[in-house]
Amino acid sequence: MSNISRRWFFEQCGVGLGAMAMNALAAANPQPHFPAKAKRVIFLFMAGAPSHLEMFDHKPQLAKFDGQLPPAELLKGYRAAFINPNSKLLGPKFPFARYGNSGAELSPLLPHLSKVVDDITIVKSMSTDAFNHAPGQLMMNTGAMIFGRPSIGSWVTYGLGSESKDLPAFVVFSTGKKGPSGGNSCWGSGFLPTTHQGVQFRSTGDPVLYLSNPAGVDNQLQQDSLEAIKRLNQMKLDTTGDPEIATRIASYEMAYRMQMSAPGVMDLSQEPKHILDLYGADPAKPSFANTVLLARRLSERGVRFVQIFHEAWDQHGNLVKDITQNCKDTDQACAALVQDLKQRGMLDDTIVIWGGEFGRTPMVQGGSDGRDHHPNAFTMWMAGGGFKPGITYGETDELGFNVAKDKVHVHDLHATILNQLGFDHTKLTYKFQGRNFRLTDVHGEVKRGLLT
């Protein structure tokens, strides 16, 4: 094709190319494969890896053998992140008791969760492939230990689209002392269209940086500027048909609408006192509790996937002191979310997920009070969205080292979540670099025993 004919093609047929790009963007969402039990997700991600042995998984035998070396056959082929695998066993630091009609065992670190234990599904048999934070967090959030894969929130919004015209479909908060080790890739869209990546909100001030107009820019000037930018972007889109330009146009339009909608959503002073007290939230003081309440408010307004990263759980030492503080900071709000969604009639079609990237070793690290990273076995809990309430699923061995019954790999968890949202995880795919990719790669099994 000559330069003249190529130029003519793009200039004369550009409207068609732009229209195709916009249509492709609008039609990017597959249809669910079967009727869904849930239509939204709130993921309370406890980055750093909570110790299942201090919170959920009662091991009297571990207490009995405290200070002794673990059996040699148990450690055959085992890799630890930082400690010598032959380190002595460390007994659990807290007693356990049974709660609710289900009789679930919890430690005293979780007094609020114990009150809603009959509404949650406790999974004691989680396992993963990674034993360091960044790859572990990527694994839990994207199904792979490498950068560049779409996050579960991106897959969900790719599959289901958005229910809100004025808010992003996928919103992310970070509430700990630092962000997750896996960085922004934990909520990135990878090779999916960038419209599906998570949008990070702040819990105070403007929810997104530069959302408010700077001094000297009134509404008319802003509208005129946005219209000029849109025309320039549209010209480029019409020339190239690049769907990422269509995403950029949509992002500008979304940002403008968010200027009107987001401040109201983020204003916790609109909540009645009894709800603030339920969560332990205070609009005047940033906190994890405030952010969990914001997650409920965003979910009410059509946000499809809300994820809170609370990076605080990496207890290599000072286990008792630090995990006690972590639970004090988070337990009330997590339990309140379950209770609040239930009383609003939202729990049935909302999946709540709580957990980190892996567990902690039964062996000691840091002298007498710490645990290393442990991928072989750990605990998570879910609520709502068709997950079976009031059950404890799976078991670990007598030391909490390996899964002994009903293993749930990260891929299985992802497959089960997608199932509840109406998708066969083997069919929710996106073609990239010549082959179809999916969240669960070539693995994953829906765990029917977790479901109603």
> pLDDT tens-digit profile of 365-394?
977 799 999 999 999 999 999 999 999 999
Q: Domain check: are 251 and 377 in the same one? A: no
Instruction: Give the whole-angstrom CA distance, residue 444 versus residue 89.
Output: 32
Q: Check residue 225 and give its pLDDT.
A: 72
Q: Domain check: are 261 and 274 in the same one? A: no
Helix (H) or strand (E) holding 30: none
Candidates 412, 405, 425; CA nearest to 451 is: 412
Q: What is the CA radius of gyration of the chain?
A: 24
User: Could you please report the per-residue DSSP string of 278-299?
Assistant: HHT--TTS--HHHHHHHHHHHH
* pTM score over 0.85: yes
Q: Domain check: are 274 and 252 in the same one? A: no
50 within 8 A of 356, measured Cβ to Cβ: yes
Q: Check residue 433 and give its pLDDT.
A: 93
The CATH number of the domain holding residue 196 is: 3.40.720.10
Looking at the structure of the chain, the number of domains it has is 2
Strands 359-364 and 40-45, by their bridges, are unpaired
Dihedral angle, C-alpha 409, 411, 412, 416, nearest 10 °:
140
Q: Is residue 25 part of a domain?
A: no
φ, ψ of residue 415 to 5 degrees: the values are -60, -40
Of residues 218 and 6, the one with the higher pLDDT is 218
Q: Tell me the average pLDDT across 298-307.
A: 97
Of residues 429 and 261, the one with the higher pLDDT is 429
Q: Domain check: are 277 and 249 in the same one? A: no
Q: Which domain holds residue 235?
A: 216-265
Q: Is residue 415 part of a domain?
A: yes
Q: Domain check: are 128 and 225 in the same one? A: no
Instruction: Give the whole-angstrom CA distance, residue 345 versus residue 147.
Output: 38
Q: Tell me the average pLDDT across 425-430.
A: 98
Q: Check residue 165 and give its pLDDT.
A: 87
Residues contacting residue 200 through CB under 8 Å, at least 6 positions apart: 171, 172, 173, 174, 184, 187, 208
DSSP 151: P
Which residue's structure tokens are 């809170």? 308
394 within 8 A of 369, measured Cβ to Cβ: no
Q: Domain check: are 163 and 57 in the same one? A: yes
Percent of the chain predicted with pLDDT > 90 = 75
Q: Domain check: are 307 and 231 in the same one? A: no
Q: Domain check: are 424 and 327 in the same one? A: yes
Averaged confidence pLDDT in the chain: 90
Q: Domain check: are 232 and 171 in the same one? A: no
Structural tokens at position 400: 């909490």
pLDDT band at 269 (very low <50, low <70, confident <90, very high): very high
Q: Domain check: are 250 and 313 in the same one? A: no
Q: How many CB atoms lie within 10 A of CB 267?
A: 12
Which residue's structure tokens are 């403008």? 256
Domain boundary among 244, 265, 286: 265
Q: Domain check: are 55 and 158 in the same one? A: yes
Candidates 314, 295, 313; CA nearest to 304 is: 295
Q: Is residue 383 part of a domain?
A: yes
Instruction: Give the whole-angstrom CA distance, residue 429 versus residue 40.
Output: 19
